[in-house]
Amino acid sequence: MALVISSWFVVKNQNKEIVSPLGKVWEKPLDKYAIEKLGKREYGSEIFLDEVIATTSAFSVYKFHFDSDGKKVTGLAHVPNSCKKCPVIAQFRGYVERGIYQPGVGTKRSAEVFAKSGFISLAPDGLGYGESDNPGEDVFEERFRTYTTALNLLSAIGDWPVADPDRVGIWGHSNGGQVALTVLEISGKNYPTTVWAPVSKPFPYSILYYTDEAEDHGKAMRKELAKFEQEYDVERYSLANYLERINAALQIHQGTADEAVQFKWNRELTGRLKELGKEVTYFEYPGADHNLTPVWNSVVKRDIEFFNEHW
């Protein structure tokens, strides 16, 4: 019996695209999250302030929300009381387990200082946190959606009545620093950005490094990563491969006693950025931990000076 193959029989080429003999190409589900792909799409949203949850003499704290590709994302906004057209800092926190997460974890303290200095802080909870929608079941899509969430938020600032669209900056800590750097690569925009102990190693090592902290010592994550690497080229998702796309002024803070991020990572990152001719300033703090204790106040002061200088 002859074997008849349909004209829609699917094969894979060397670039791992799915094609038919008729030449039609289909993207696999996570292809759209490759850094270059994300750089070619458009972003858009609208920011809505919800209820006031705290007020001081200098600023008010609101719950806020916005839409990111059809999903609701919530967060905290610290807004100076006298604000008409204020500069805005989008703040992206580090990793927090869902079970202990509270809105403002990792950003609230610096947001208060920024608001006292006349800056609006927008700190999204992220999908799956706070009152935000669920990101979905795929662990890697959840990761990649942190970028699209950030980019949709940033796109909304320009049309927000209380914001000065010409003075928008980014702050990121730890994994949020990784998000910040990747957003700069995707967008190519000049958002002055300051990052605290960013996770700057290549993907997927940036995940594997932390797998021993899981209850199963990373077994489930490594299994999912093995599946991902069979279907996708991990190099297309790694921030380390796209540093030349960064066009923003950068300020990097790193403590030498940091047990979560090795200080040599960000020494190397700074060196590579300087080789590429990027505007980057690196501060290293002997004895400081992952949260830049005990020099936290000095670091925030440097951030305020940095933003004011680059707007």
Which residue segments constitute the domains of the chain, with CATH numbers given? 44-310 (3.40.50.1820)
pLDDT digits (tens, 9 = 90+) for 17-36: 555 555 556 779 999 999 99
Residue 163 tokens read as 């914001």
Residues 68, 149 contacting (CB under 8 angstroms): yes
Residue 285, C-beta contacts closer than 8 angstroms, at least 6 positions apart: 253, 254, 255, 256, 292, 295, 299
Q: What pLDDT, on the 0 to 100 scale, is given for residue 245?
A: 98
What are the pLDDT digits (tens) for 41-87? Answer: 999 999 999 999 999 999 999 999 999 999 999 999 999 998 889 99
Query: In one letter, which amino acid is 12?
Result: K
Q: Which amino acid is at 103?
A: P
- Burial annotation 232-251 (CB, 10 A radius, 16+ → b, else e): beeebbbbbbbbebbebbbb
Q: What is the mean pLDDT of the chain?
A: 92
